[in-house]
């Protein structure tokens, strides 16, 4: 494109009136001044954490709730206010243990906490023993009250890092001169069943966050819309529609806010002065596609191979069965140089793909031949093609190999 044409486009779009006055108010990291519909949870957290302000030890807390129920938002809000109130006598460190290459291993968690405490730590090269010693030394040198938040802790455990969590728990129990409290945040209500007794005992308080209902989601959306958009951009009817969509999907406030932001961006790209129902519908399709791509990219390698096997079996028919999928999965493992998992483990992975909404797997009885699963993929052809393309790139597969 010629330079004059580029300048013409810049001039054109710079004059276009935007719909947003503060786009950040719809970002996932935004922390509003008022948290709606979490008064009970806020009061409980303050009650449990207030001993830290008095220089006493506070209980360790595990917080459960489905995604988008305000767990992280509420914890950050309460800790921010406690930190202000304490005026330097209290510090909190937030760690999302799911973030790859940041805090997704035992080494990286310890190094991340040390950096937040002002100690430069190399990204590799030290032993875990040395890192643990450095962290204990740091707490001893700078006594005070600390809260360490381990967000998405269930994902950390699912990656077979039970020992890492146990080691961290034992390490923090050794801190004497500082008062350290740990808050774990989990999207999985049942993951603690698999933990050993030391960790269960360590987290001696459990809090549960219920999903938001449609009316609560509407209040949250209205609050954010007033902060994010110029007046008159969005109607109450549109906000209620978005709230209703999110309420049907487990009351996920993050999803509702993301849908609102995406609808606004779509309307803005089209040069509209208002967000319409059509923009919301288009945004819902766009977000579902992005969600699916994110989930697939996050899958373990064997789950990706299994999903590719399912796609291949379903290429010319509507229903696949566990046995034929397993045979195709083993063939792909041979091609890719992986040792196949057992059929029982693959059956578990099929169930996980079903829970994620990527496939639809129904258990059926075959009488004396036992039980199997009927496996379908309900996405449209375009989405299936994109899934297949993502898997091919991730697994380094080509049509010639298949």
**Percent of the chain at pLDDT above 70?**
95
Give tens-digit pLDDT for 135-167: 999 988 888 899 999 999 987 777 656 677 788
Give tens-digit pLDDT for 315-340: 888 899 999 999 999 999 999 999 99
Higher pLDDT, 59 or 18: 59
Specify the fold of 299-395: Arc Repressor Mutant, subunit A (1.10.10)
- Torsion sign, CA atoms 281, 283, 285, 287: negative
Give tens-digit pLDDT for 369-399: 667 889 999 887 888 888 898 899 889 887 6
Query: Given pLDDT bands bounded at 50, 70 and 90, which one contains residue 366?
Result: low
Q: Residue ranges per domain, the chain?
A: 39-209, 213-295, 299-395
Q: Are 78 and 53 in contact (CB under 8 A)?
A: no
What are the strands, taking DSSP E only, across 200-329?
205-209, 320-321
List Cα–Cα distances, 166 to 101, 188, 196, 215, 272, in angstroms.
Answer: 21, 18, 8, 41, 54
Specify the fold of 39-209: Rossmann fold (3.40.50)
Specify the fold of 213-295: Helicase, Ruva Protein; domain 3 (1.10.8)
Locate 16 and state its tokens.
Answer: 């276009």
List Cα–Cα distances, 225 to 68, 75, 230, 242, 390, in angstroms.
Answer: 17, 23, 9, 12, 34
Most confident among 213-222, 288-297, 347-356, 367-376 (mean pLDDT): 213-222
- Read off the DSSP letter of residue 22: -
State if pTM tops 0.95.
no
């Amino acid at each position: 494109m010629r330079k004059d044409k580029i300048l013409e486009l810049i001039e054109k779009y710079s004059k276009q009136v935007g719909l947003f006055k503060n786009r950040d108010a719809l970002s996932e990291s935004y922390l509003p001044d008022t948290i709606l519909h979490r008064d009970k949870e806020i009061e409980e957290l303050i009650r449990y954490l207030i001993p830290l302000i008095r220089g006493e030890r506070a209980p360790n807390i595990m917080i459960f709730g489905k995604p988008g129920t305000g767990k992280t938002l509420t914890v950050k809000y309460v800790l921010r206010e406690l930190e202000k109130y304490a005026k330097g006598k209290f510090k909190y460190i937030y760690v999302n243990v799911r973030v790859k290459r940041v805090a997704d291993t035992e080494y990286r968690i310890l190094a991340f906490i040390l950096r937040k405490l002002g100690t430069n730590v190399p990204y590799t090269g030290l032993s875990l023993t040395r890192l643990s010693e450095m962290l204990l030394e740091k707490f001893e040198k700078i006594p005070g009250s600390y809260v360490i938040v381990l967000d998405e802790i269930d994902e950390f455990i699912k990656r077979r890092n039970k020992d890492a969590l146990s080691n961290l728990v034992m390490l923090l129990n050794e801190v004497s001169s500082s008062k350290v409290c740990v808050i774990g945040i989990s999207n999985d209500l049942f993951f603690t069943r698999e933990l050993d007794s030391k960790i269960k005992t360590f987290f001696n308080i459990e809090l549960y966050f219920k999903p938001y209902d449609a009316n609560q989601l509407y209040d949250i959306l209205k609050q954010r819309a007033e902060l994010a958009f110029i007046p008159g951009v969005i109607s109450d009817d549109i906000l209620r529609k978005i709230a209703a969509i999110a309420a049907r999907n487990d009351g996920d406030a993050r999803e509702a806010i993301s849908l609102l932001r995406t609808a606004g961006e779509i309307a803005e790209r089209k040069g509209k002065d208002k967000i319409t129902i059509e923009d919301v519908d288009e945004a819902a399709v766009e977000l579902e596609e992005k969600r699916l791509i994110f989930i697939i990219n996050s899958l373990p390698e064997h789950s990706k191979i299994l999903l590719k096997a399912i796609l291949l079996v379903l290429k010319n028919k509507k229903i696949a069965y566990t046995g034929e999928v397993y045979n195709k999965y083993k063939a792909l493992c041979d091609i890719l140089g992986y040792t196949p998992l057992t059929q029982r483990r693959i059956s578990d992975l099929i169930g996980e793909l079903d829970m994620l909404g990527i496939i639809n797997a129904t258990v059926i009885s075959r009488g004396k031949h036992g039980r199997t699963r009927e496996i379908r993929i309900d996405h449209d052809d375009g989405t299936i093609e994109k899934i297949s393309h993502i898997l091919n790139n991730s697994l380094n597969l080509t049509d010639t190999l298949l």
